[in-house]
Amino acid sequence: MTATDRLTEVLSNIRAAEAEAGRPDGSVTLVAVSKTFEADAIEPVIAAGQRTFGENRVQESQAKWPALKAAHPDIELHLIGPLQTNKVKEAVALFDVIETVDRDKLARALKTEMDAQGRTLRLFVQVNTGAEPQKAGVLPEDAAAFVRRCREEHGLAIEGLMAIPPFDEPPAPHFALLAKLAGEIGLKTVSMGMSADYEIAVAHGATHVRVGSAIFGTRPKPA
């Protein structure tokens, strides 16, 4: 199977999961995660019609996406990995959505840089639903206050929440928690679910699923 075949299969699985959950057709956006893959592996997937992509590193993205975006201006690029403040300038120039806003210092830097570049990116707050010490994201109990500070103190519109559940736990309770938090805070966008569990995420209300290896194949190196 090619990446294009697998894309078709993942999309049809998403549509089936939407129907199964009684959700409108097309209510879930597939973010195709192309990290570690070169432009020549990504191009066929773009040619097949996919327009939303995710990357986890700014530097790697700078090597391949400016040319791909120039050729396909309707592509929407999501940053799904941690963002250091010294990379904010490059990130604001290249990405359309940053899914990993998780601290005040980063929020301030994003506001300053978006104003300077005259660009408005869509922003999601990352939540560490498993409270894992090594993982980025705000704690679930701090999410509402952080979103409020983003709005009121930093002047940022937050569109939604994103989470990466612990690797070694069933994801469903984490998906349920993230969707509940989004509802409580009044956010409609929920980014959750990866290759192994995106259908479960759709059942729990994901609006965005981030799927890499199920489309592009096993990654050539760890990311």
Ligand X SMILES: *Cc1c(COP(=O)(O)O)cnc(C)c1O
Contact residues for ligand X, defined by CB under 6 A: 33, 35, 56, 80-81, 164, 194-195, 210-214, 223
CA distances for 111 relative to 16, 39, 95, 131, 196, angstroms = 39, 30, 14, 27, 34
- In the bound complex, what is the minimum distance in angstroms from residue 152's beta carbon to ligand X? 28
Our CB check for ligand X shows the closer of 24 and 60 to be 60
What does the alpha-carbon distance between residue 50 and residue 7 come to, in Å, rounded to a whole number? 8
> Are 195 and 186 contacting, i.e. CB atoms less than 8 angstroms apart?
no
Our CB check for ligand X shows the closer of 41 and 111 to be 41
- In the bound complex, what is the minimum distance in angstroms from residue 102's beta carbon to ligand X? 12
> Are 95 and 61 contacting, i.e. CB atoms less than 8 angstroms apart?
yes
- In the bound complex, what is the minimum distance in angstroms from residue 120's beta carbon to ligand X? 23
- In the bound complex, what is the minimum distance in angstroms from residue 186's beta carbon to ligand X? 24
Q: Following CA atoms 106, 107, 113, 117 in sequence, which dihedral angle do they give, to the nearest 10 degrees?
A: 130
> Are 104 and 79 contacting, i.e. CB atoms less than 8 angstroms apart?
no
Our CB check for ligand X shows the closer of 154 and 210 to be 210
The CB-nearest residue to ligand X is: 212
> Are 126 and 163 contacting, i.e. CB atoms less than 8 angstroms apart?
yes
- Residue 125 C-beta-side C-alpha neighbours within 13 Å: 32
Our CB check for ligand X shows the closer of 13 and 213 to be 213
Our CB check for ligand X shows the closer of 112 and 213 to be 213
- In the bound complex, what is the minimum distance in angstroms from residue 82's beta carbon to ligand X? 9
Our CB check for ligand X shows the closer of 79 and 150 to be 79
CA distances for 29 relative to 148, 167, 176, 179, angstroms = 26, 23, 18, 16
Q: Which residues contact 41 (CB under 8 A, 6 or more apart)?
A: 3, 34, 216
- In the bound complex, what is the minimum distance in angstroms from residue 153's beta carbon to ligand X? 26
